[in-house]
Structure 1
């Protein structure tokens, strides 16, 4: 990349509080000029007509499952990075529930080295306990020195309260968050979807909201006592949102994330195709395993509470919990299917739903995908500023497209959106000297 002029875009940058039309010049992978309200006159540069498009800092995802090492049939670091770029993300945090688990400094360095050349930053999250078994703590200090940005046993809750307390004490000392998968497995038992009217109608064992909320209460209490930084992953219940809201008011060091599927889909999606105007299922003959996720898709009241948490700042960030699986792990009876939704490439259109319905502004949405998750995890990230490395995403908020397996770069095609039309798509992601460009943008490309 030499010189690239992005002209006439709506620039939305929470770092500089800019929301205005302007031009941005990229030169040798850096932002050379930002011009608001008028055009830049540039010779000998490629240019893109960005009228009607939004230009923002590239997105940050603090919750991604890359599956490597050990489950490369589901995803690899390389394929996950490609999906991230296609979704507008240039920084992703890789969860440690791999095989073997990322539970030592050697594997932390291995993930970082493996990501070299992908065009994005892959920041490892280390396991809280050896092999994620909840029994023996890892060497937290050595793993932070190796590059771990947080710790989590995600996919397996830390049931041992003493172990979680120890992790939070290290969190206070080392200055990194503990990302908690909040689930009381005694309460969730063999449940496979939200415990409510839909699960009763479908005859499927349910996971009550209390299974998540009980652990959120515990972790908030431990964080208050230790002074450690607890990060509540994939918040999905009204009680959980309210508990976090109260904890923030009394000064507990807590941050939280919500996934696009938890603030967009309800448990009705488990039943198959839905009426988009009412969110009611049209048939209960198809038990959609692509809608099976942990924590489960909840009822409408919980979804509304999660949205309220995003609106008022109780929930700090949007994170995808990208969880790719192979076809065989989803093409089976619902109770036997793996939990997880592939989400990197559909996060933008689902998040834009909140903007279109007037729940949040475009600036707020971009903040939830950029500056807020970066701050929550203490990750170096920056806006659209002269002299900075180009770390940008250009998207069309009104472009409609159909989600198909072939349209997704991730190996994981497991999303309940397959076959459905969504609105909003990333057209280009720039990460330094690397850029991902979608075919639809090439018609707007000019050479001067």
Structure 2
């Protein structure tokens, strides 16, 4: 199969072709030609404002398979990911059973062989993601785990965090933790502030995130190792990470692409599609996130894709589950709300995630395998429920205009053109 990308602007900072407009021919899964000449092809993609970058990698997504396939299975997750421009996705371990054995890792990898998206399993740090006994992390790493995280269950015990950091150093493994002091957030529904008081909802204080960030950074300084914070959301947490980086600690972090789309004052009250964890914070936190993205403190932007079935969301606000389905809209939401140049946003979607995970850099060059995302950063569109690829529809972005549309992906010899929107 031959695919020609006609007059595509290349986003590839490591290449001399960066920001150049070229024709790109992909043949049998490899890049066969880059230059000004027209080439014969089975499929020609020629659309105004076409851009191409290394395939995007999402570091934070949940699936329902195994055990919760009614929320999302691996096939629907891969379809949603490709529609959103992702060619690789880190699958968090909060399934039933938890991803904590070599057979579970192999299950994810095997299921992903035929899919247009590479599934990268993250294994649990502790047994059943319960925060107590460590899993057999060396075996899991050798089986193919790309990182270690308890996912939606933030590590609470300082002793467990310390042991995990020390253990992971035997193979230079990455520990990912979402910073939340769960005793401080128990029964919390939204950001603790004037809005939560006015609405009569139990708040989730910024302090709960900041305390764990401070603790984990102290443990990192003591034990060494590599630590990644998932879904940072507060100004103080970002400032602590900024200082730790300046001090030379091996710490990185990411933010959900939707985190600056709303504040606690701007969400639609009692609409459970706005119920996320960490919650939409105050305006000052949103400003701090944008500053952290601009100065490099925040390394990556992630989907935080959390599919929930109707029965989990169509409830009273305090009974509904947390989360947004966001693989298909992650780029557009970030491009619309974060105020980043396209070049910087692509770096946080395609380049930095691979650096953090220690994966090989993807180059746009003749002879290289085609691992590409095709997109139009200036196109305005509206996502709709009836065209979504995900099994779940828990999103506040349906019917809202967004800037930046994915055209498709080329990966593993498969071309996926985005007809979902």
Classify the TM-score, shorter chain: over 0.9
Contact 2:116 2:416 in 1 (8 A): no
- Of 49, 52, 69, the residue aligned with 1:72 is 69
Contact 2:342 2:377 in 1 (8 A): no
Distance in 2 of aligned mates of 1:229 and 1:438: 36
Tell me the CA shift for residue 400 of structure 1: 2.2
| Structure 2 residue aligned with 1:445 | none
Distance in 2 of aligned mates of 1:321 and 1:168: 24
Match runs of 1:335-346 below 5 Å = 335-346=318-329
Moved more, 24-33 or 430-439: 430-439
Match runs of 1:187-336 below 5 Å = 187-270=184-267, 272=268, 284=269, 287-336=270-319
C-alpha change, 1:43 and 1:343, in structure 2 (3 Å) is closer
Cα offsets for 1:332-389 (capped at 9, x unmatched):
000100011111011111121257xxx4322111100001011011122402111111
Distance in 1 of aligned mates of 2:317 and 2:261: 21
Match runs of 1:123-142 below 5 Å = 123-142=120-139
Tell me the CA shift for residue 44 of structure 1: 5.1
Contact 1:263 1:303 in 2 (8 A): yes
The answer to whether 1:112 aligns with 2:95 is: no
Cα offsets for 1:29-80 (capped at 9, x unmatched):
1111122xxx213235532224322111111001110121111010011110
| Structure 2 residue aligned with 1:24 | 24
Distance in 2 of aligned mates of 1:353 and 1:416: 14
Contact 2:55 2:371 in 1 (8 A): yes
Distance in 1 of aligned mates of 2:41 and 2:33: 15
Distance in 2 of aligned mates of 1:204 and 1:103: 36
| Structure 2 residue aligned with 1:276 | none
| Structure 2 residue aligned with 1:402 | 382
Q: Could you say what secondary structure the match of 1:252 adopts?
A: coil
Tell me the CA shift for residue 225 of structure 1: 1.1
| Structure 2 residue aligned with 1:90 | 87
Q: Could you say what secondary structure the match of 2:52 adopts?
A: strand
Contact 2:3 2:41 in 1 (8 A): no
Tell me the CA shift for residue 5 of structure 1: 1.4
Contact 2:125 2:135 in 1 (8 A): yes
Contact 1:229 1:253 in 2 (8 A): yes
Contact 2:336 2:404 in 1 (8 A): no
Distance in 2 of aligned mates of 1:182 and 1:417: 26
Tell me the CA shift for residue 247 of structure 1: 0.3
Q: Could you say what secondary structure the match of 1:79 adopts?
A: helix
Tell me the CA shift for residue 439 of structure 1: 3.9
Tell me the CA shift for residue 321 of structure 1: 1.1
| Structure 2 residue aligned with 1:419 | 399
Distance in 1 of aligned mates of 2:254 and 2:288: 13
The answer to whether 1:390 aligns with 2:389 is: no
Contact 2:188 2:201 in 1 (8 A): yes
| Structure 2 residue aligned with 1:3 | 2
Contact 1:60 1:370 in 2 (8 A): yes
Distance in 1 of aligned mates of 2:29 and 2:266: 42
C-alpha change, 1:110 and 1:21, in structure 2 (3 Å) is same
Distance in 2 of aligned mates of 1:13 and 1:431: 16
Distance in 2 of aligned mates of 1:33 and 1:396: 22
- Of 353, 373, 377, the residue aligned with 1:373 is 353
Distance in 2 of aligned mates of 1:107 and 1:326: 24
Cα offsets for 1:144-164 (capped at 9, x unmatched):
000001111111111111111
The answer to whether 1:160 aligns with 2:188 is: no
Tell me the CA shift for residue 195 of structure 1: 0.3
Distance in 1 of aligned mates of 2:41 and 2:238: 52
Q: Could you say what secondary structure the match of 2:161 adopts?
A: helix
Q: List runs of 5+ in structure 2 lacking aligned partners.
A: none
Q: Could you say what secondary structure the match of 1:61 adopts?
A: strand
Distance in 1 of aligned mates of 2:164 and 2:299: 22
- Give the TM-score of the pair, scaled to structure 1: 0.91
